[in-house]
Amino acid sequence: MSLIPRAAPAASMAFAGRDPAVISLLKMLPLLLLLTFSSAAAPPAAASPSAVHNNNWAVLVCTSRFWFNYRHMANTLSLYRTVKRLGIPDERIILMLADDMACNPRNNYPAQVFNNENHQLNLYGDNVEVDYRGYEVTVENFLRVLTGRHESAVPRSKRLLSDEGSHILLYMTGHGGDEFLKFQDNEELQSHDLADAVKQMKEKHRFKELLIMVDTCQAATLFSQLQSPGVLAIGSSMKGENSYSHHLDSDIGVSVVDRFTFHTLAFFEKLNMYSNASLNSLFNSYDPSMLLSTAYYRMDLYKRALNEVMERYIYF
């Protein structure tokens, strides 16, 4: 606005003898140029630095079916309970369970799932809401949830409605191997599939920060193709290592929890919604002699220093 008076006399003096329309156009030219430059500068400014963390989501996936994979269900439900306890409501949690353990005919304790042989804690509780269950837990549905590309009829409770201010926790457990994770003994999710989905999520601004935790054998290999910024990955074992179960419950008859998840829970059970624990302390709590595998974390895509990242910040 201040340019116009300055430009006008110059323009009018320089082009005193020209057409009045051309003169008015020339007067507008500097203003137009300024506007275009400012609008060109705007998009970078409106990208990630300006996005503020304002909501949390959790996507918890158990990919194994059959009774002898009880521990994978217990892993996922333990994380579900922890995440709910620390403040994320059911509307922001997508829970995918590949089989029904609680009301399974082989379960001696109907409607109850335990992750410890002392049976102190019923993970199933009274208020569990499962979004994808049974045959619906497929690689296709998982990738659709992550990328948000659903059919129009799919209801809101089955969609990950995150935006550029979301922090998302993605937890997967089941059987896995070198660069893949097995879904229901039928199909696989490969590391490049996961990396592609995360790349799409980043392009569509579906997360600000993403924490992926995987508890399977050779979990670290699943992250080998990730390239998107703002992603933190924690795996329960390195390439060539297995992840082991923690203990067998002789009453139920199967192992009830995996070691990595057991120690992760042991860390979180000490916290509440107002704690200030940092991710660094979570990493330091993993002891290879207790896990019988080396917990792996990938931090190169993550910009902030880990001792600054508080658990509370992730979840609350």
Catalytic residues: 175, 217
What are the Cα distances from residue 193, in Å, to 117, 214, 242? 37, 15, 22
User: What does the H/E/C string look like for 70-97?
Assistant: HHHHHHHHHHHHHHHHCCCCHHHEEEEE
Q: Is 103 in the site for other proteins (CB under 8 A)?
A: yes
Q: Is 89 in the site for other proteins (CB under 8 A)?
A: no
Q: Is 136 in the site for other proteins (CB under 8 A)?
A: yes
Angle between helices 20-46 and 3-14 (to 10 degrees): 140
Q: Is 120 in the site for other proteins (CB under 8 A)?
A: no
**Of residues 46-75, those binding other proteins (CB under 8 A):** 65-66
Q: Is 144 in the site for other proteins (CB under 8 A)?
A: no
What are the Cα distances from residue 78, in Å, to 119, 188, 255? 13, 24, 14
Closer residue to other proteins, CB minimum distance, 36 or 157:
157
Question: Applying CB under 8 A, which part among 123-131, 198-206, 252-260, 294-302 lies near other proteins?
Answer: 123-131
Question: Applying CB under 8 A, which part among 28-36, 121-129, 195-203, 257-265 lies near other proteins?
Answer: 121-129
User: Going by DSSP bridges, is the β-strand pair 55-62/132-133 parallel, antiparallel, or unpaired?
Assistant: unpaired
**Of residues 19-38, those binding other proteins (CB under 8 A):** none
Binding residues for other proteins, rule CB under 8 A, total 31
Closer residue to other proteins, CB minimum distance, 146 or 226:
146
Q: Is 135 in the site for other proteins (CB under 8 A)?
A: yes
Question: Applying CB under 8 A, which part among 7-15, 28-36, 148-156, 274-282 lies near other proteins?
Answer: 148-156
Q: How many C-alpha atoms does 36 have within 13 Å on its Cβ side?
A: 5
> Exactly one of 69, 115, 166, 184 binds other proteins (CB under 8 A); which one?
184
Q: How far is the CB of 277 from other proteins (least distance, A)?
A: 31
Instruction: Give exposure, 190-215, as e/b (b: 16+ Cβ within 10 Å).
Output: ebebbbbbbbbbbeeebbbbbbbbbb
Q: Is 280 in the site for other proteins (CB under 8 A)?
A: no
User: Residue 297 pairs with which residues in a beta bridge?
Assistant: 234
Instruction: Give exposure, 67-94, as e/b (b: 16+ Cβ within 10 Å).
Output: eebbbbbbbbbbbbbbbbebebeeebbb
Question: Applying CB under 8 A, which part among 98-106, 163-171, 281-289, 290-298 lies near other proteins?
Answer: 98-106
Q: Is 128 in the site for other proteins (CB under 8 A)?
A: yes
d(CA 240, CA 63): 21
Q: Which residues bind other proteins (CB under 8 A)?
A: 65-66, 100, 102-104, 109-112, 124-131, 133-136, 153-158, 184-186
